[in-house]
A and B are shown apart, each in its own frame.
Chain A
Amino acid sequence: MNKCRVVITGMGIINAFDDSSLCATKEEYWQSISSGKSAVRPWQPKDTEDFPVKYAATVNFDLFKEQYQASLTDAPLLERRGYFGLVAAKNAFKDANLTSSIRIGCATCSGVPEIHESEMLALGSTENYPESLKEHRLDKPSELSHSGLASTNDRMVSAIAESLSMTGPVININGACAGAAQAIGVAYRAIQRGETDAMLAGGADSVTNTRVMSGLYLLGATATSSPKKAALCSPFDQGRSGLVAGEGGAFLVLESEASAKERDALIYGEIVGYGSSLDAYKVTAPHPEGKGAEAAIVSALHDADLPPEKIDYINAHGTSTPMNDVVETQTIKRVFAQKNSSVYPLISSTKSMIGHWISAAAAPEAIATVLATYHGVVPPTINLNIPDVNCDLDYVPNQAREKKIHYAMSNSFGFGGINASIIIKAYNYADK
């Protein structure tokens, strides 16, 4: 079967490793994650002092708006994550030196809408709530007349497509925590089947608002263990207690190899495999034996036509929740076990540094995976001091490690039992 090769020619990211600056380039991002820097810091929702979730990896939004004022001048009304996504997409486009002479599309993921909270609050003080809501809308027309529009699921992808005058496929996926991985996978396939020359693929998310954080807390997903303070995002550690939310935007430029070569673009890596699957188990919990996760990993290996032993590095889903990290470890051991050998790929969770970007999580992780293969360095899992007894693989604790990486995998497993795995190959210009 003759499928066209798909390479990565650009990357753009927006997040922050401290409150006084932004991380706005792939170089800054790589510098931070390869040196084990944490983006997690104290956080509470606005006007709240005793919210049970006390840490998150947030972006200083005022600073972001100030720094990207020019870029956002003509932007439509978007949610917070939409602005992160728009800027990250433009940065990736610029990084790839793309021009509109080739056909370009976009694939993103969307999550739970951020706003309508002020509308909900307006309901609180009266029994006659439809009237109260109407009054509230009349009081704040500029804020609310567009609130539904701003949080429409595909608003961000439309804004990106319009701002970059795209004529390729404009796709929006909602695959929960595997959303960005599915967006990248669907973009990869769109190029393979010749629909387009290039795709911007990735996502942006922000769940640092009361409504979504309350929902995650009530589902028992968030870390609340206060003794660990900012180190509480500790995948595979015995003291881990749940996920720590992060926010930002990240996009990769996927391009057909032929198009990239024709315009003499710098190639950072190649996507060679994608697989997705469903647990069909519970909408709120993953399969306890990781059957769905295993199916996605095996499907990606099958797509890449690779035996498991060829994978040198796995960027794990590694959420720091008690269940995920054990199930993911068991799944990796089942798939990658070799006869008479206890050698497994190196594994790390970059969520330990940047937090969990929920629907967009796979986007910064895919960038980390591409840069790991490009630089030959595995980024670490930080805050891993005493490994869980059931997490007994090499998670590259606390310090990056040099390693020649030929093939790397990025795993993403989401609510609703939605799983996706992507395989990146180090690009060899001499490889025909």
Chain B
Amino acid sequence: MLTNNTKTPYEKVVVSGYAVVPPASFINEKEGLTPGFGSSVQPLSRRLKRFICRSGEHAVTASQLAFSMANIKPEDMGERCGLYTNQAGQQHSDIDDYHPGFANSSTTSESALADLWSGKEVNPFLAIKGLSNNLLGAISVHWSIRGDCSAFVRDHAGAAMALNEAMFNLRHGYIDVALVLTAGTEVDFFEIQHQQRGSERDINCGAVALILQRENTCATPPIAEIFDMKSGYRENNKCEKPSEETIKKHKPSFAEIVKKQYYYNYNEPRWGGIIYSLSQIIHLAKQQQNTSTIDVHSYDKSGFDAKITVSVC
């Protein structure tokens, strides 16, 4: 059951910047990726790399490009800029991160773990890097963002929750600018375990950043308006995935999407969720100067459904 999440006094919420930084292999792997849509990752400083999570490089690049498009310097916004993140996929440290610490060890008791953590071979920031709020903390430090915040960790659905929370806080005037940032890997720890047994899935990282503002505080011409957001859960929180055949067949052209005013991306990447699909539609509509209103839909295996209605300005 979808319910309206925007039952609040109407304040126009607009998109003033967006950027997608996909995994390197993504463009080849996912047919139909919008041309010119994804940007390349830019390397981080060694200092930041020491404590930011595995998808941090992608997240920093995406947020930098989105802020630049919106012509916003977040450090000037202080507490008026909010940060809403979603981390998806594999969050935590790799086995490779720990292995140097085991090189000279032959013990198998739990005290070996204490030795491991106190050894010089292992990065002392591993505990910080492994936190699922790492993106929130590290990005806030990097951009000096000090406003309202939430770090969602709910797979695909977390991206919609982050957007939902950002819109609520903008509409109620708690903040003036929101950075909605979703990042992570395509597979999670469980799937990586299976991958060791022969799966060929990509574990590379990706990120999407979206800058939202109220129209009346937007200094640059807005790119798109988000009219409405609805989300909800199916009974018992279970959702049947479409068949592989359905997914394969479902590759609508932009003209078809405009005609139906409806977009359901069955190949929505885990690291981007509905924010990815929303950015994709905005990008296509902007390229083609099409101002149609389109409903962007999303769902995930936990029974979560979301719909965002968007129109390019």
Contacts and interface: CB of A to CB of B under 8 A. Distances in A.
Interface of A: 1, 45-48, 50-51, 103, 105, 110-113, 116-117, 119-121, 123-125, 127, 129-130, 133-134, 137, 144-145, 147-149, 151-154, 157-158, 161-162, 165-176, 179, 182, 186, 189, 193-196, 210-212, 214-219, 275-284, 291-292, 295, 299, 303, 414-418
B140 A210 contact: no
Determine which residue in B83, B87, B116, B234 has the highest number of CB atoms from chain A within 10 A of its CB, and name it. Answer: B116
B117 A415 contact: no
A152 B128 contact: no
A131 to B, nearest CB: 11
B236 interface: yes
A337 B152 CA distance: 35
B153 A153 contact: yes
14 contacts: A45-B114, A105-B233, A153-B154, A154-B302, A157-B154, A158-B302, A161-B233, A173-B152, A186-B150, A189-B165, A215-B127, A277-B149, A280-B144, A282-B141
Interface in B134-169: 134, 136-138, 140-141, 143-155, 157-158, 161, 165, 168
B6 interface: yes
B133 interface: yes
B190 A175 contact: no
B148 A299 contact: yes
Given A1-B9, A416-B131, A169 B231 contact: yes
B113 interface: yes
A134 B95 CA distance: 12
B175 to A, nearest CB: 10
Contacts of A144: 193
B7 interface: yes
A274 to B, nearest CB: 9
A281 B141 contact: yes
Contacts of B233: 105, 161, 166-170
A280 B179 CA distance: 14
B253 interface: no
A145 B174 CA distance: 45
Determine which residue in A113, A172, A186, A414 has the highest number of CB atoms from chain B within 10 A of its CB, and name it. Answer: A172
B7 A194 contact: yes
B137 A170 contact: no
B267 interface: no
Contact of B110 (A103, A117, A151, A171): A117
Contacts of B118: 214, 218
Given A214-B113, A295-B79, A162 B98 contact: no
Contacts of A158: 237, 302
Contacts of A418: 133, 136-137, 149, 151
The contact size tier of chain B is 35 or more
A358 to B, nearest CB: 11
A194 B3 contact: yes
B178 to A, nearest CB: 13
Contacts of B110: 45-48, 117, 121, 210
Nearest to A171: B161
Contacts of A117: 110, 113
B148 A277 contact: yes
B102 interface: yes
A71 to B, nearest CB: 19
A416 B136 contact: yes
Contact of A186 (B136, B140, B165): B165
Prevailing SS type, chain B contact patch:
mixed
Nearest to B133: A174
B107 to A, nearest CB: 6
Nearest to B9: A1
B128 A148 contact: no
B63 to A, nearest CB: 13
A189 to B, nearest CB: 6
Interface of B: 1, 3-9, 51, 79, 83, 87, 91-92, 95, 98-99, 102-103, 105-114, 116-118, 124-128, 130-134, 136-138, 140-141, 143-155, 157-158, 161, 165, 168, 172, 174, 188-193, 196, 231-238, 302, 304
A403 B165 CA distance: 36
A124 B112 contact: yes
B138 A416 contact: yes
B155 A278 contact: no
A47 B140 contact: no
B132 A110 contact: yes
A211 B138 CA distance: 22
Contacts of B131: 111-112, 174, 176, 415-416
B104 to A, nearest CB: 10
B127 A278 contact: no
Q: Which 9 A-B pairs have the closest CB atoms?
A: A416-B137, A215-B127, A148-B190, A214-B117, A148-B189, A174-B132, A278-B140, A153-B153, A174-B133
B236 A278 contact: no
Contact of B152 (A151, A171, A303): A171
Contacts of A186: 150, 165
Contacts of A210: 110-111, 113-114
Contact of A276 (B149, B172, B190): B149
Contact of A218 (B91, B124, B154): B124
A416 B99 contact: no
B235 A173 contact: no
Nearest to B6: A193
A214 B99 CA distance: 17
A303 B95 CA distance: 44
B146 A292 contact: yes
Given A175-B151, A277-B79, A278-B146, A170 B237 contact: yes
Contacts of B126: 215
B313 to A, nearest CB: 25
A129 B95 contact: yes
A374 to B, nearest CB: 28
Contacts of B5: 193, 195
A121 B127 contact: no
Contacts of A171: 152, 154, 161
Contacts of A169: 161, 231-233
Contacts of B128: 283-284, 415-416
Given A299-B174, A416-B136, A418-B151, 18 more contacts: A1-B9, A48-B109, A110-B153, A112-B92, A112-B127, A123-B102, A158-B302, A167-B232, A176-B131, A193-B7, A219-B127, A277-B79, A277-B147, A283-B141, A284-B51, A284-B128, A291-B146, A417-B140
A413 to B, nearest CB: 12
Given A277-B148, A282-B141, A48 B114 contact: yes
